[in-house]
Every structure is written in structure tokens, then in C-alpha cells.
């Protein structure tokens, strides 16, 4: 699964790396060292021929949901079953997004102890999770925009840490993933484990266990 991640890169770097054309609104982008479910996260959607960046609430609320609290259960979606699941199939067909990150956390079990690990690219560059987004309206008709992160089987690096990992898209797949009328077969092919040779992982302090701690110390390396 993917339940916590980081985004510390500056906005100018993100604009260039992800070819962002416009933003949904004016906003600040402080470095985030411990992003958690239910928070607003930076994502890119396709807006015609342009890529538009804005914030989505992490935890997908399907358009047909009666209660928005369902979003707390839908922070991740399994890539293998997403085309058929009622909660995700509509978004999978028409509302795919890129969720921006430069690292994520997973907890490795060692007996009764769980050691938090930080996983990132060896070159330190940002990357994109494959995501889905939805537009839900409350009783007053106010729209709420939410999202989920897709997960898949682990690669060689992640297999030693957890039995799932987020779908990380190669840069060359961004355009096709965002394309409104993408073919299911081609999309399914994209949702595979990212190359382990390009990634690294190390132990970090247990302060990351609490989402209240959003500080640089969350990604500092510690001895095993």
C-alpha cells in the first residue's frame, strides 16, 4: 500500500519536470516531509491539451457515495482489479491523474517491531504515482475533489519491505496516462512495478509514525 509520502521539491523544478502548463489557483507549496491520508495533495490532470496542477483530498469519494467518510477507506486502489471495482471503475475510465512525490514511506515488520523505511529515487528526482480522481458533491451542491493512489505487486527492492508498492509511472507514460480516452489494455500494462535498480531505501526515525510530525527529520537516515 501507500499511506505516507513526501514532496519537498520546489515548484519551479516540478513545473519543468512534469511540464505543468497551469495551476488551478494561486497557492504556496511548502516542503512536505510526512503527507498523510485526508490531506490535500498536489496532482496533475489533463485539461484539454494542457496539464493542470492543483490540490486533491487524499481518499477517493466516488461520485455516487452517500457518505464522504468512505474516502478514509479508499486511499489506495489495487491496479489488478481497478477496472471492475465500483468505487474506482468510473474514475479509471475518465479521471486519471499524476500524484507528485519525491519519496514515500513503508513499514517493515521485524517481529513485533515495525521499522519505517524511506524509499526514493537514487538520483533524488521527483516522480509521479498513478492516481485516480473524483468529483463529489455534498447536500448543498458544493464539489469536493478527491483522489486515490494505485498500488501493484512489489519490485525486488520493495519485496523485502512490504507485499505492495505504489504504481510509479515512468516519465514517458505521463501523457498516455492522462489521456482522457485511454485504452484499458494499455493502461493496465502501465501499472506494473517500477524498476528497482533506480530506487533506494533506508531506515528513518519512528517520529514519522505520527502524521503530526512533518519535519525534515522524518527522512533522515538512522542505523538499522
Distance CA 19, CA 159 (A): 32
Residues in contact with 123: Cβ distance below 8 Å, sequence separation at least 6, in sequence order: 198
Q: Cβ distance 29 to 42 under 8 Å?
A: yes
Phi, psi of 34 (to 5 degrees): -165, 65
What pTM does this model have? 0.96
The pLDDT value given to residue 224? 53
Tell me if residue 189 is catalytic. no
Domains of the chain: 5-104+124-195 (3.90.1680.10)
224 residues of the chain, pLDDT tens digit each? 799 999 999 999 999 999 999 988 777 789 999 999 999 999 999 977 799 999 999 999 999 999 999 999 999 999 999 999 999 999 999 999 999 999 999 999 988 899 999 999 999 999 999 999 999 998 889 999 999 999 999 999 999 999 999 999 999 999 999 987 778 999 999 999 999 999 999 999 999 999 999 999 999 999 75
Given 106, 134, 147, 218, which residue is catalytic?
Answer: 106
How long a stretch of residues is the chain? 224
Tell me if residue 218 is catalytic. no
Amino acid at each position: 500500500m501507500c499511506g505516507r509520502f513526501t514532496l519537498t521539491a520546489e515548484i519551479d523544478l516540478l513545473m519543468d519536470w512534469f511540464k505543468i502548463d497551469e495551476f488551478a489557483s494561486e497557492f504556496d507549496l511548502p516542503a512536505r516531509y510526512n503527507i498523510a491520508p485526508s490531506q490535500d495533495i498536489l496532482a496533475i490532470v489533463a485539461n484539454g491539451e494542457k496539464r493542470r496542477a492543483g490540490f486533491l483530498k487524499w481518499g477517493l469519494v466516488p461520485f455516487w457515495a452517500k457518505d464522504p467518510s468512505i474516502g478514509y477507506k479508499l486511499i489506495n486502489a489495487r491496479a489488478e482489479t481497478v477496472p471492475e471495482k465500483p468505487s474506482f471503475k468510473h474514475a479509471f475510465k475518465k479521471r486519471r491523474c499524476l500524484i507528485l512525490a519525491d519519496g514515500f514511506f513503508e513499514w517493515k515488520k521485524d517481529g513485533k517491531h515495525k521499522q519505517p523505511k524511506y524509499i526514493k529515487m537514487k538520483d533524488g528526482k521527483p516522480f509521479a504515482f498513478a492516481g485516480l480522481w473524483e468529483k463529489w458533491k455534498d447536500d448543498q451542491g458544493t464539489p469536493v475533489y478527491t483522489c486515490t493512489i494505485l498500488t501493484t505487486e512489489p519490485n525486488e527492492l520493495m519485496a523485502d519491505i512490504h507485499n505492495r508498492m505504489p504504481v510509479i509511472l515512468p516519465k514517458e507514460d505521463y501523457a498516455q496516462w492522462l489521456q482522457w480516452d485511454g485504452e484499458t489494455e494499455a493502461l493496465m500494462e502501465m501499472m506494473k512495478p517500477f524498476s528497482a535498480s533506480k530506487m533506494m531505501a533506508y531506515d528513518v526515525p519512528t517520529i514519522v509514525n505520527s502524521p503530526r510530525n512533518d519535519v525534515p527529520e522524518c527522512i533522515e537516515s538512522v542505523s538499522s
